[in-house]
Structure 1
Amino acid sequence: MTDLPQVFMDLVRYETRLYNVLGERLRAEHSLTMGQFEFLRIIDSRDACRVNDLAEEAAITVGATSKAVDRLEAAGWVVRRPNPSNRRSSLLELTPDGAKLLTAATPTFEDGLRSWLAEPLTAGSLKQLASTVALLRRTLEDASAGMPAG
């Protein structure tokens, strides 16, 4: 029988260490944290991104997300624009400096993923892992489980 607590611990520790090693490289090479990089990627990938969209994607509170966006805005990487569909919210977009930073940092991020995620696995194992992790994520998301309160 599979030791589920050990699978859980291995999964959490792997994710934490991968996040840390990728973040160390991003900080050293681009003066960018992993969280900042994630937000820039999400904002760039959406036509109309709101703070709430970031919070949902990252599974963190809206308050924490808003503070992080404030820091991205202060750094000159993101701007808030009025939302024509809802005056109570803003749409986020990358500034030219934010887009330039994301373009420069993406190869560093992808190189780290190749080193620490793809290279230890066979192509088939990586494909199976991707499919399995996506299924597990969807299962929690479909049940609205694990979302932060507040």
Structure 2
Amino acid sequence: MARFTDMFTELVRVEIELWNGLDAHLVATAGITLPQFQALDAIRANSGQARVQDISQRMAITVGATSKVVDRLERDGLALRSAHPTDRRSSIVSLTSKGASALNIADDAAESHLREELGGVLSDDDAGRLLGDLVSLRAQSRVEVAK
């Protein structure tokens, strides 16, 4: 019988190793970090404009941590923060052309890197099933946290 604590430990270790490898690969190939890539992707997923809170929710990190990532995106010319048109407490983060270009490069780099890292162990079908399982597990953990 599998121990869930053993499975959890391995899942976390795999995530850390994949994260570190992909982060280094993105810096080398696209000039952006993995958190920057994820934030840019979250902005793109929201039609190219998102509130910090929208990015935070998509990345599953705190608003404070997200704000720091957005500060770095802005500093590097990858995103632009402007006043929200109807909510003075909020701002809108938009992709710049430099950010959109970096995101496109990072997309290809991330996919090829992860396919190389995982493709020898997981077929496309296996990866699809694993993705479905992980989405279900994440949805369940959100329900449990909300209780």
- Whether contact under 8 Å (2:42, 2:59) holds in the other structure is no
Instruction: Point out where structure 2 has 5 or more consecutive residues left out of the alignment.
Output: none
Give the aligned partner of residue 14 of structure 2. Answer: 14
* CA offset digits 1:109-150 (Å, max 9, x no partner): 0101211233311333222211110100111223345xxxxx
Is 2:78–2:97's contact at 8 Å kept on the other side of the alignment?
yes
User: Residues 89-128 of structure 1: matches in 2 within 5 Å?
Assistant: 89-128=90-129
Residue-by-residue CA offset, 1:64-123 (whole Å, 9 max, x unaligned): 211211111011110112222312111111001111111122111010121123331133
> For 1:101 and 1:35, how far apart are their aligned partners in 2?
13
| Residue aligned with 1:91, SS | strand
TM-score, L = length of structure 1: 0.89
Amino acid at match of 1:78: A
Which shows bigger deviation, 41-50 or 88-97?
Answer: 41-50
Residue 45 of structure 1: CA displacement?
Answer: 1.1
Q: How far apart, in 1, do the equivalents of 2:14 and 2:77 lie? A: 33
Distance 1:81 1:120 in 2: 44
- Does residue 44 (structure 1) correspond to residue 44 (structure 2)? The answer is yes
- For residues 1-150 of structure 1, the aligned pairs below 5 Å read 1-47=1-47, 48-144=49-145
- How much does 1:16 deviate? 0.8
Distance 2:127 2:65 in 1: 32
Aligned length: 145
TM-score, L = length of structure 2: 0.90
Cα root mean square deviation, aligned: 1.5
Identity of aligned residues (%): 38
Please say which of residues 111-120 and 5-14 is displaced more in the overlay.
111-120
Q: What are the ranges of 5 or more consecutive residues in structure 1 without an aligned counterpart?
A: 146-150
More off after superposition, 6-15 vs 125-134? 125-134
Gap change, CA 1:143 and 1:91, over 3 Å in 2: farther
Q: Secondary structure at the match of 1:80?
A: strand
- Say if 2:31 and 2:102, in contact at 8 Å, map to a contact too: no
Give distance in 1, aligned partners of 2:31 and 2:101: 13
